[in-house]
Structure 1
Amino acid sequence: MKLSVIVPVYNVEPYLRKCLESLANQTLEDMEVIVVNDGSPDGSQKIIDEFTADYPKRVIGLIKENGGQASARNLALQYAKGQYIGFVDGDDWVDTEMFETMYNKALSEQADIVICNTMDHYDDHIVYHRQSDVGKLRKCGSVCNKIFRKDMIGSVRFPEGLWYEDLCFGVKLLMQTEKIAYCEEHFYHALNRQGSTMNNNNSKKNLDMLTVMTDIVDYMHEHNLDDKYGYDLEYMMIEHILITSINRVSEQKNPDKEKIIRELRNYVLKYYPNFQSDKAFKEFKKNQRIIAVLNGYGLHNLSKILLFIKKKISRG
């Protein structure tokens, strides 16, 4: 089989039909869609049953107790038969030619990983992301715009019970190969909605980023990759922790947020106490460098004001 696409499902009933329609109608032949109901209490299973009945040669349904998105993906990896593996979230959708184009690209360039561009859909606007514009390990925000050669995945799995499992899984695989190909089309459509991991008020779970980063550091040590990817690691820590995570937590109303921000900041400073003098820091845009420095010195409330002003100006 050419390709397996894994779809974890939990409380996405209003969006699931659109997602599965985009996968059932893929132009690529000889592919399977493994849909895992992760103990979803809504009506998602009824929709899954419809698609397994209507597309018995393409859509496979699995049911498990709730354990989180990572556990659902890990279960499906045990059953996947495809030469390449892809992932789609149950509230997102893809263009119908996405996987045929990416699979053909993998064959023509003998690639272990193929990456396409993405679109983030908000209530009132769309943000386009071009993956080939960023450095190798920084392409890892999501696994959903990628296909991975199954043989290279090996024993690598998503860390269960944590947020940011995509980052952990994807970075490990990206570190394994230089055979990476790109599709310039914006094939993947991500729905940004309230209640998602990135839109929440659970400050403490943002500390999962530190667990994930530590796992990546340990993986680099174990495979003697420190010299090769140490620069990229510093960039990721600045981007994902010092900028993104702290900015996200500072917007929340959780009473523990100041303590959480302090832990996030101290983690980066433990590894890079003089980050603002390093080459990786200087690669960021000027406004990002300002935010990183402010957050690094505990001035995240000032960062929040600057970001609010920037957003108001950009929205007109």
Structure 2
Amino acid sequence: MVKNKLSIIMTAYNVANYISSSIDSVVAQTNQNFNLIIVDDCSTDQTQKIIRLYEKKYDWISVVCHTKNSGVSAARNTGLSMANGELVTFIDGDDWVEPDYVDHFLKIFNDEDVDMVTCGFFNQNENGKVKNKVAKRQTSIVGRDEVIKQIIKMTGTVMGYTWNKAYVRSIIEENNLGFQTDLDLMEDQVFNVEYATVARKFYLDNVPLYHYISRKGSITQKFAVENVRDVGVARMKVYKAIRDSTRKEKDQI
């Protein structure tokens, strides 16, 4: 087996109350063929102290701390620059994953010739109550048009998140893909659409393996003029990525 088949990028900012649970869920993975890169975006609480303790304890955990708060997109980009796995995925530092989260991705990438694999998720509040319906397991292999349709949908088990997907790192690097640092919202949807336009086949699976915790006061819970602007800019970037991809395909015919 290739060492560190999967690189997990965990971003953190002032999540001292939650980060241990998140890391512990990664430690408990049934498949250990991965490394964990934790990027702290200049936390002002005890987050850095906690993640440094984990870094000392486990040789497969690497920590990098921003000296200036730069946002989640910049943190993910830092993680991508450090990733050495053949595959890459993302976890938010206040969420957690099921024990077979890693094994799910590695098994499907090993068995199928695809460029992205997804999983389902539990959308929970801080008290642990699950807000979304978990449907009967369904899997499918789809092309670009269908996966983009699923990514930009506001419902379903695919959507624009990065933490329920694993990617081929070489595709990201060869196409200079990264997260838009001028967006605080929907930056993950833009990244996913741009990735989809340069990838080929996608394995969609709704088995719920990620626990997304909706917390009061998070940026996605707030409504502000800046957020409206971000949504507009993100939609334009999504449209441009799809349009450019369509033109490129027509030129190749």
Q: Shorter-chain TM-score: which interval?
A: 0.7 to 0.9
Note if contact 2:197-2:245 (Cα within 8 Å) is conserved in structure 1: no
Q: For residues 35 and 113 of structure 1, what CA distance do their matches in structure 2 show?
A: 22
Q: For residues 171 and 134 of structure 2, what CA distance do their matches in structure 1 show?
A: 26
Note closer, same or farther for the CA distance 1:129–1:177 as it changes in structure 2 (3 Å cut): farther
Please list every run of 5 or more consecutive structure 1 residues that lacks an aligned counterpart in the other structure. Answer: 229-316
Which of the residues 59, 62, 75 maps onto 2:61? 59
Which of the residues 97, 109, 114 maps onto 2:112? 109
Q: TM-score scaled by structure 1?
A: 0.67
- What residue number does 1:157 align with? 178
Q: CA RMSD in A?
A: 2.2
Verify: 1:7 aligned to 2:7, yes or no. no
Q: Which has the higher contact order (CA 8 A, sep 6+)?
A: 2
- What residue number does 1:136 align with? 147
By how many angstroms is 1:76 displaced? 1.0
Secondary structure of the 1:4 match is strand
Q: Write out per-residue CA displacement over residues 105-158 of structure 1, whole angstroms, 9 at most, x where no aligned residue.
A: 011002210000111002473124568699522233201000001111121110
Note closer, same or farther for the CA distance 1:169–1:197 as it changes in structure 2 (3 Å cut): same
Which of the residues 101, 112, 118 maps onto 1:98? 101
* Aligned partner letter, 1:62: V
Secondary structure of the 1:13 match is coil
By how many angstroms is 1:227 displaced? 8.9
Q: For residues 224 and 22 of structure 2, what CA distance do their matches in structure 1 show?
A: 27
Q: Write out per-residue CA displacement over residues 61-99 of structure 1, whole angstroms, 9 at most, x where no aligned residue.
A: 001121000000001111100000000001100011111
More strand by share: 2
By how many angstroms is 1:164 displaced? 1.0
Q: For residues 176 and 55 of structure 1, what CA distance do their matches in structure 2 show?
A: 35
- What residue number does 1:125 align with? 129
- What residue number does 2:153 align with? none
More helix by share: 1
* Aligned partner letter, 1:59: I
By how many angstroms is 1:225 displaced? 5.2
Q: Write out per-residue CA displacement over residues 181-211 of structure 1, whole angstroms, 9 at most, x where no aligned residue.
A: 1344210000001111221142332220111
Verify: 1:216 aligned to 2:238, yes or no. yes
Please list every run of 5 or more consecutive structure 2 residues that lacks an aligned counterpart in the other structure. Answer: 151-157
Aligned-pair identity in percent equals 26
Q: TM-score scaled by structure 2?
A: 0.83
Matched pairs, number: 227
Moved over 6 A (4+): none
Note if contact 1:24-1:59 (Cα within 8 Å) is conserved in structure 2: no
Note if contact 1:5-1:85 (Cα within 8 Å) is conserved in structure 2: yes
- What residue number does 1:289 align with? none
By how many angstroms is 1:166 displaced? 0.6
Note if contact 2:10-2:92 (Cα within 8 Å) is conserved in structure 1: yes
Q: For residues 128 and 111 of structure 2, what CA distance do their matches in structure 1 show?
A: 38
Note if contact 2:15-2:47 (Cα within 8 Å) is conserved in structure 1: yes
Q: For residues 22 and 115 of structure 1, what CA distance do their matches in structure 2 show?
A: 19
